Structures are given as structure tokens and as C-alpha cells.
Structure 1
Amino acid sequence: MRVFVLRADYGRYTDVFRNNNYIGIGWFEQINPIEGGWDLTDKEFLKEKYREKYVGDASMRVNQNVGQIYRFINEMQIGDIVISPYNTNDLLIGKITGELYFENDNSSPYPWRKKMEWIKDNVNRHSFSQPIQNTLRATLTCFEVKQKDEIFESLGYDIPHSKKENYDIKFDSKSINELIKNKFLELDPTEFELLVSYLLRTLGFEPTQETGKVGDGGIDFEGILDVNGIASINLQVQVKRYDNNSIGEREIRSFRGALKQDFQGCFITLSKFQKKAIESSNKEGYKGIQLIDGNKFIELFINQYEEIIDVIQLDDNDDLLEKLQFKKSLLPL
């Protein structure tokens, strides 16, 4: 028995899932794969069909989305547990009771469905450990939860604890920051933004807008930073993967001007901030902006390393994982 998360468009259709006792996915909304005779066990076939429908999608996006479709069809089995988050801190939890079927009844944009028996409703995510809360922040629609024992226990199942691997990470090299930074600079801007999103997720950030679609003003991420259930902060983030070009006061003023009224700002770069930029970020009478330079970003990366690797794997982002190529000691291969 396994545990999965199945999102419903950031919780917009979770009530529909609950009221109609099903879960579902989209992507091929008008296509009935059962009547069409599709080989749903063939991932390459699904990739081919996906590329026919979404011609402009990059390879990474194709792999991620088809991976989710394949997981929903083939890996989520009868008896498995499914968590569907609301657009609040609450969760809907149940178990799969039926095989894949197709029904386009306009109750949701997800006609590829599986029947559910809901076990618990309005479960507060903060009742779970921080690792599970980090997992729940994944932006994928469909993914597996590794910390299944804790979920089973919350449902009253008597499941023995699995042993957690001890990585025993040590950092004893003065040049490690430079080595890690060089690896980051090998990433293209999109990949680096993804890495930033994974780091933010492990720190409690949950996006409310899709990456790359936040809006004007150079804002790359928008969402809520949950501080261990104690406080929630509306946060917008700008990312600049500069190496030698330091960030000046002009960029800080421009970023501040793009911030929404009730949001705080965070500016992340691999380079440094000029003195006037630092002064401007804390200017009296103006909205403060948190600055994270290259050294601070790498420090956060080291502290969150295990969790970051987990969420990259969770997102099926093998391309990014391969490009990072860090050993457990964080020394690049």
C-alpha cells in the first residue's frame, strides 16, 4: 500500500472530489483512452500523444507531466491512500476503490478518474511532521509520499516504522562554496529558477501562482511562506542568476515597485548586492526586502540539502538532478 498526493487545481476542485467520491486528472480532457484503445502502460506512447497535443512544451515539461499521467494510471492502485489538499491548510484523505474510468460530466476538468472512499476530511497539514509538510508543497499534480508510515498511523493503521537513512553529511572544505556555485552556474536560467523553487519549498513556501506566470515586474515566484504553522507570510520572490554582475539599488527599487500591497519581497542572486542596494532594501519608510546573495543561498542549500534532493526526485526532475551531480558529501562529481 502506497500514499499519493493528487491535487485538484490548487484545491479548487477538492470539494468536487469529496462530494462525488472520485479523483481525476486532465491533460487529455476530451480523449477517452479506453475507447481509443491506447496502451496506457507504455510511457513512450503517452509521451508521443502528449507531444501531439502540446506541441510547444519543452522536454522537461513533457517528462514531468507524462510521468504524472503514467503514475495516476499505473502506479496508483486500489487500496492506496490519496491525499487531496484544499486551498487552505486542510487535507482530504481517502483510499482508491476502483480502476481507471472516463467520465466527462463537467463536474471538473478531470475526466480520467478513479473511484474513492474518503476516510478523513479537514485534516490540518500542520498535524504532520515538517518533512511531510515539505512534501505537500510539491507543485506537481500527482506524486508519491515517501513518509507513508506517518500517514498510515494518522489513519489508525498499525504499520512498523521504516528506518531513515543517515546521510551523515560533513562539510570540511573551504572551497565547497565555490564548487557548488560553479555547478549552479552550469544550470540554465530556467533550471536555476527550479532549484530556487525547490529550496523555497523546503523552507515552507507554497506557490499560489504557477512558476513563470506570476506577472510583470520581474516577479518569479508568488505564494505563502508557512513558518512552521506559527505564521503565514505573503511572499514574492525575484531571482537573478548573475555571477559577476552585482545587484544595484535600481534593481531593488524596481522590485519594490512591483510588489503587491500585502506581500513581502525576497531577492535572490548568486552574485552580491552593492552597498546602496543593501541600504535601499532596509530604507526607513519603505517596504523591506530580504536579500539573499550567493553565499547565503549556498548556505541555505547545504542546510536543506537532503530535503532539496528529495523534492527534486519527487518532481521526477531527473535532468536537473543529473546536472547537479552532488555526492552525499556535497562535493561535485
Structure 2
Amino acid sequence: MTASNEPKIWGLHSQDERLLIEKGVVALGWRELGDLSGFPDDREVFKAHFAQIYPHAKKGQIPTSAGMLYRFIHEAQVGDFVVFPSKTSRLIHLGIIEGGYSYDHVALEYVHQRQVRWVNKLPRTAFSQGALYEIGSFLSFFLVKNYADEFLAAFDKNFKPFSAETEDETIGATAEEIVESTKDFILKELSKHLKGYELEEFVADLLRVMGYRTTVSAKGGDSGIDIVAYKDELPPRILVQVKSGQGDITEATIQSLKGAMREGDYGLFVTLADYKKKAARYLEATPIIRGINGTELVELILKYYEDLDDKYQRLIPLKKVYIPVPLAD
């Protein structure tokens, strides 16, 4: 058997565990799309149909949702494996796809179905933290890649569950992935929703919760100063420039901030991107100006998130959780 023909392992999420287990199927929703059995092996056709049926769907939702249906119908093959983590029983169900696509007109919601034979079910404690994190995807149907070997081994009757006495080496990687994906999410939301003056308002609010008194310059001002901040009623004055573009900041741009500063002022430059090498060296040589790049801005947001204005918490919705981390040496 060639590598291209090796069975894949698919992850599935569903709210109707009873339907899946009792009927022996894997299933997806989107009833309004109708029977897709006659649709060609073409992602663009699926995307166009999804957009037509759901004209008010968000732009990013169309390729994601249509892509899941395409993979479910055309990429998943008989003989492929399925991993279904139940939120009800907290068990991991393992199955093998045994039939092609069918549309169940009687089903209330999960109408797009394929027959599956469930061969095993195991507690979540049987798997490493990294494997559990991978199948915790937000997608309804997805390809398991990073921990495919671990799930594949679970189909063997001689499978040895992950031992609680064994150190889980995936915990550190899992924790790092969660942290990094959260940072990526924050930066993407800022880039998507806050441009120009809106980002200036956001930075001013962040500085406020950090203990600064801030005034945002009027829209359209040509002074090059976006925010004026004070730690208290007395000097020094801090002049802040904010850039929402994706391009890295040049030395000349920072020098323009320096040119607007008077004796005794301090400067702060905030960008969602980063600084070019010459600009970074200029900042190092000019201690009265502090530069904050996108990564550093996200760190500050995480630190002061709970005190940000409610509208910004809604813009960047985060939930405080505890995640496992490796024991310190």
C-alpha cells in the first residue's frame, strides 16, 4: 500500500452522540444545503453553493464550512478511521468508515451522513494531553495529523493506554501551542477590526488601565502625535505614535516622532508589526523613545485584559482558563 493510499484519521464533533453511536454513522449538519451526492469533486462548487444558500455567512465561514463538507464527501474514504470525542460521556469513540455519502431526509439536523463501525471507546485519560488538544478542534470535521499515530494505535486490541505514572512530554508543547494560538488570535483581531484612529483609541485605553492619563489627538491631525500621556499631573509628557499597518517600521518614521518631541518629553511608538534593523538600532541608541511591536503589545493586552473597556473585551473575546504545564526541573 502506498503512502497516498494509507487510511487517514478524521476527527468529528457532534452534539447528537445518540444518533452517531446508535445508528452507526458520522454526520454533519447544514440541512438547508440539501442532498450533495450529485456535486462534483470540486471545492469551488461547494463554496459557491454554500454562499448561495447562506448569503449572510461571514466571509471566512464559507471556505471553512464548505471545505468540511467537501472533505466529508470526497476526501474521506471507506476504510479511513474516525475519532469522536464525546462531550456527554467524556469518552473517545473510535470507528472505521464503511460507507459512502448519503443524505438522510428524516434526520432533524445531521442530514449528511456516512456509515461507520464503532470498534472501541476509551476514556480521555488513555491519551496524551497533546492528542486530546488536537481533537479539541473547533471544526466539526477535520484531519488528525500531529497525533495520528497515537490514535491509530488505539484501534489495536493490544493498545496500552497512556499511563498516569508516565510523564506526559506533550504537556509543554500543548501549553505552548495554546499560548501561541491565543497570541495569534489577538493580533489577527486587532489587525482586522482596529485601523488608524480606532487602534489609537484602543492603545489609549490600554495605557489608561496601565495607570496613565491619556488624551487622543483629533482625527486628521497632522502633528504626527496620536496620544499624549502622563503618569500623573506632573511631567514628563509622553508622546505616542500608533501604526496599524502590516509593514515594519523604518528609522525615518521613528525620527519623525523624535522631531515632534520637546526637551523633557518621552516617546512611545506602538506598531502591530515590527521594526526594521536600522529602526531597532535607533531605538536602542535613543532611550527616551520606547518601541512596542505586535508581540509586545499582545503581552500587555494579556496582562491587563480584565481591566480593558468592555467593548474591547467583546472585540477580543477571551476566557480565563488553567492549562497544564510541565513541572519545573
TM-score normalised by the chain length of structure 1: 0.49
Structure number with the bigger relative contact order (C-alpha 8 A, sep ≥ 6) is: 1
Task: Normalising by structure 2, report the TM-score.
Answer: 0.49
